[in-house]
Amino acid sequence: MIEVSDLSRSYANSRAPVISGLSFSVRRGEILWVAGPSGSGKTTLLNVLGLLSTANSGEYRIDGQEMLGAPQQVRARSRRDVVSTVFQRGNLFAHLSAVDNVLVGMHPKERSVAEASLAAVGMAGRERQPAGLMSGGEQGRVAIARATARRTPVLLADEPVSGLDDANASAVLQLLEQAGASGVAVVVVSHDPRVGPIASATLTLPARQAA
């Protein structure tokens, strides 16, 4: 499903690449745990995989299609139909309700699907509550509901259990595990060891050397 080969990414203001020469693959149903210390490039890798930014070199294929050099329209379409990202900070619209936040990435007729996804993350009955009035943990769960409701074949999650207590973290990890079990290729970026048990493979990024 996902094939990454010799991927490197550096920023204009830094001589040393954030990630360098990375190669790995994730098949459907697999859960890849990307671990590593802070600053090792975990989120940068996730942004490249989520088509939110590009890499400087290497190859990144989803179902055989090269994504790094793909036209903007193809990348946008892939973000909509192929890859879903759960952001570390949720990235919800504070002035929209929970269900409307989920529906922002979907067709309005799929309201029942959005509500089911919210119920799956324990947010049943809170669909109409504005995201801005929710706690960080609740926002994280709505963000996962938004990503899973879209039923894309690739699901990426950036520190999904960061800051959650064991009970909430367990619920979130269970959702990710269920996604993997349903055939979705899941990549979880986290420094939290609680992710380990659900992962089918682990990629540990080395600490980045100072430029």
The binding site for another protein (CB under 8 A) comprises 47, 50-54, 72-73, 76-81, 85, 87, 91, 93, 95-96, 100, 103-108, 146
Query: Whose Cβ is closer to another protein: residue 108's or residue 193's?
Result: 108
Minimum CB separation of residue 200 from another protein in Å reads: 26
Residue whose structure tokens are 């367990």: 170
Residue 75 host element (H or E) = helix 72-81
Minimum CB separation of residue 172 from another protein in Å reads: 20
How far is the first Cα of the chain from the last one, in angstroms, to the nearest whole number?
A: 34
**What DSSP string runs through 88-103?**
TT----TTSBHHHHHH
For residue 97 the two structure tokens come to 């309700």
Query: Whose Cβ is closer to another protein: residue 133's or residue 181's?
Result: 133
Minimum CB separation of residue 193 from another protein in Å reads: 27
Tell me how far apart the alpha carbons of residues 127 and 201 are, in angstroms, rounded to a whole number: 35
Query: Whose Cβ is closer to another protein: residue 2's or residue 198's?
Result: 2
Query: Whose Cβ is closer to another protein: residue 13's or residue 209's?
Result: 13
For residue 51 the two structure tokens come to 């088509």
Minimum CB separation of residue 194 from another protein in Å reads: 26
Query: Whose Cβ is closer to another protein: residue 29's or residue 105's?
Result: 105
Minimum CB separation of residue 151 from another protein in Å reads: 13
Minimum CB separation of residue 110 from another protein in Å reads: 9
Query: Whose Cβ is closer to another protein: residue 108's or residue 125's?
Result: 108
Q: Estimate the crossing angle of helix 111-120 against helix 136-149, to 10 degrees.
A: 130
Tell me how far apart the alpha carbons of residues 6 and 57 are, in angstroms, rounded to a whole number: 7
What is the DSSP-derived secondary structure letter of residue 60?
Answer: E
6 in Cβ contact with 23 (< 8 Å) = yes
